[in-house]
């Protein structure tokens, strides 16, 4: 096992990387951050964002909606904040994935499908629309959004059925399209996404708290921008499908609807200036970049040499691994060092194996490191902050300089397995998977590469 000297003692490097990751995770979980943004005093709600404070008074009734992988944590946190207030709070709504689901008193809780939408999600969406329609001009709707909201809240337009949406979602995920491209398509097939959710809240006041899993924190893309003006058009949605060569396998109903939408402005998503946005505020409460900074802070406080190395990663895992190594050749880092990076890579799925982007990336990077730096000792942790990497029970993987040799020793044909997108089985055989429960948060992926 690799070890690193901190102070006067040696630490197991794999365990250290996991400890650093868990510290970053803790600092982007709603239970530990939401109270910093929203407080209640007597008959007033205060929302803090940077140096600005938004006040809400004269509220008749409060509606609470939590959508995404962090929903249960969001619900429990806001429930605690309101527990000592005199406000009349309507029974809230929680829509969350299986890994993070649990029942919370005072909330209607829905277990919805992710990453592939399902009938449960459709039922949850219909319930949510009815719930919000009861809100009025003197009410306040508090919406808490986190990653995964797009799949968890399927509400197709009338011309498209749920099966079309499910098929389209699967095609997009496997195409190699990034999350912004995927959500551009999703927004134009939904009566909730792309700001459409606000049509059911209008004319209530709305404040949305957003935990970002999207690189660059484009609020219109997180959970497909439920409460934000959409800056994309039907032409952009069609361009995504044609650029990734999947237009011809797109369900016919969706092809027909997009083609109609190209010329029918009434079908377009709501844009900036629409009256439904007049009484709406959006507050970002966490992001990938904020998480990376917490990882750096941990290293600093423990006198560990580290650097935030790469941010906003969005490329194909194989290309990304090559770029990592190319950069290592150009830069001479003072070792030992922990290089911190984050983002959300993509995988163009061509095989029928089992895996996820972090698992594939870790294997591709290990191959490149072995090829270019055969004597370099390292430990690599690549994981999803939501605790789930692709359609697997793993969050990602942790590897070191011995991993490739161990794969060969076990007779595994790594290149063949990668062509089949079967990274999970490879990593399982060498005991390098990182498996954890749902984390109740989601700010995309992080990588910690320790060089010693």
Same domain, 12 and 101: no
Q: What pLDDT score does 6 carry? A: 66
13 and 67 belong to one structural domain = no
pLDDT tens figures, 369-395: 999 999 999 999 999 999 999 999 999
Read off the CATH number of the domain in which 62 is found. 3.40.50.10180
Tens-digit pLDDT profile for residues 102-133: 999 999 999 999 988 999 999 999 999 999 99
Whether 142 and 274 share a structural domain: yes
What's 376's domain CATH number? Answer: 3.40.1480.10
Which class for 99: exposed (0-12), middle (13-18), buried (19 or more C-beta within 10 A)? middle
pLDDT for 43: 86
* 175 inside domain: no
If asked whether residues 51 and 121 sit together in one domain, one would say: yes
User: Within a domain: residue 177?
Assistant: no
| pLDDT score of 1 more than 70 | no
Does 79 share its domain with 57?
yes
pLDDT on residue 5: 67
Same domain, 370 and 221: no
* Same domain (yes/no): 18, 75: no
Q: Which alpha helices (DSSP H) does 309-447 contain, by range? A: 317-330, 357-372, 403-409, 414-419, 423-429
3-class state of residue 437 by DSSP:
coil
Instruction: For residues 209 and 333, state if they share a domain.
Output: no
Pairing of strands 92-96, 107-111: parallel
Mean pLDDT of 268-286: 96
Share of the chain above pLDDT 70, in %: 98
In this prediction, residue 2 carries a pLDDT of 83
Cα angle value 87/92/94 (rounded, 5°): 145
In a domain, 245, yes or no: no
Q: Is residue 164 assigned to a domain?
A: no
Q: Does 274 share its domain with 302?
A: no
Instruction: Residue 391: give the domain boundaries.
Output: 3-25+289-451
Residue 332: its pLDDT value, please?
A: 84
> CB 378: neighbour CB atoms within 10 A?
22
Asked if pLDDT for residue 427 goes beyond 70, the answer is yes
- Whether 238 maps to a domain, the answer reads no
Do 232 and 76 meet the contact criterion of CB atoms below 8 Å apart? no
CA distance 194 to 232: 9
Is residue 338 in some structural domain?
Answer: yes
Out of 242, 258, 286, a domain closes at 286
Instruction: Please state, in angstroms and rounded to a whole number, the distance separating the CA atoms of residues 297 and 318.
Output: 30
Q: Which pLDDT tens digit goes with each residue over 237-261?
A: 999 999 999 999 999 999 999 999 9
The answer to whether residues 221 and 363 belong to one domain is no
Q: How far apart are CA 46 and CA 41, in angstroms?
A: 8
Task: For 324-368, write each residue's pLDDT tens digit.
Answer: 999 999 988 999 999 999 999 999 899 999 999 999 999 999 999
Is residue 394 in a domain? yes
Q: What pTM, to 2 d.p., does this model score?
A: 0.91
- Number of domains observed in the structure of the chain: 2
- Is the CB of residue 357 less than 8 Å from the CB of residue 315? no
Shared-domain flag, residues 217 and 279: yes
| Residue 262 backbone zone (phi > 0: left; psi -120 to 50: alpha; other: beta) | alpha
Residue 202 inside a domain? The answer is: yes
The per-residue pLDDT for range 131-179, each reduced to its tens digit, is: 999 999 999 999 999 989 999 999 999 999 999 999 999 999 899 898 8
217 and 76 housed in the same domain: yes
Which pLDDT score is estimated for 179? 86
**For range 54-63, the mean pLDDT:** 95
Residue 278 has a pLDDT of 96
Domain end point (choices 240, 261, 286):
286
């Amino acid at each position: 096992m690799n070890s690193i000297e901190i102070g006067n003692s040696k630490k197991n490097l794999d365990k250290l990387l996991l400890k650093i990751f868990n510290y970053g995770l803790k600092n982007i979980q709603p239970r530990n951050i939401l109270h910093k943004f929203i407080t209640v005093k007597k008959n007033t709600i205060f929302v803090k964002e940077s140096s600005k404070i938004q006040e809400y008074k004269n509220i008749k009734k409060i509606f609470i909606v939590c959508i995404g992988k962090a929903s249960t944590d969001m619900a429990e946190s806001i429930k605690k904040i309101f527990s000592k207030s005199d406000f009349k709070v309507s029974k809230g709504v929680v829509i969350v994935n299986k890994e993070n689901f649990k029942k919370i008193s005072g909330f209607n809780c829905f277990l919805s499908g992710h990453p592939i939408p399902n009938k449960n999600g459709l039922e949850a969406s219909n319930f949510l629309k009815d719930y919000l329609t009861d809100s009025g001009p003197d009410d306040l709707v508090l919406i808490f959004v986190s990653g995964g909201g797009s799949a968890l809240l399927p509400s197709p337009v009338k011309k498209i059925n749920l099966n079309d949406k499910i098929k389209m979602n699967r095609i997009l995920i496997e195409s190699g399209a990034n999350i912004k491209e995927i959500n551009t398509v999703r927004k134009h097939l939904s009566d909730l996404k792309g700001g459409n959710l606000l049509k059911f809240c209008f004319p209530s006041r709305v404040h949305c708290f957003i935990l970002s899993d999207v690189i660059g924190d484009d609020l219109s893309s997180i959970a497909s921008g439920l409460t934000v003006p959409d800056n994309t058009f039907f032409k952009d949605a069609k361009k995504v499908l044609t650029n990734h060569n999947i237009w011809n396998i797109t369900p016919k109903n969706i092809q027909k609807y997009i083609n109609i939408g190209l010329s029918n402005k009434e079908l377009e998503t709501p844009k900036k200036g629409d009256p439904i946005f007049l009484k709406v505020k959006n507050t970002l409460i966490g992001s990938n970049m904020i998480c990376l900074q917490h990882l750096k802070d941990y290293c600093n406080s423990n006198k560990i040499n580290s650097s935030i190395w790469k941010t906003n990663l969005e490329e194909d895992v194989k290309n990304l691994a090559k770029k990592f190594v190319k950069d290592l050749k150009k830069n001479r880092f003072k070792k030992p060092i922990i290089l911190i990076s984050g983002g959300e890579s993509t995988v163009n799925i061509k095989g029928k194996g089992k895996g996820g982007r972090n698992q594939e990336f870790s294997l591709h990077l290990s191959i490149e490191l072995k090829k270019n730096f055969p004597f370099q000792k390292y430990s690599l942790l690549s994981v999803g902050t939501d605790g789930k990497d692709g359609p697997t029970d793993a969050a990602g993987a942790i590897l070191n300089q011995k991993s490739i040799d161990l794969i060969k020793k076990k007779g595994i044909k790594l290149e063949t397995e990668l062509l089949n997108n079967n990274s999970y089985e490879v990593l399982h055989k060498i005991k390098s998977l990182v498996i954890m429960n749902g984390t109740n948060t989601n700010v995309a992926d992080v990588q910690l590469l320790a060089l010693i």
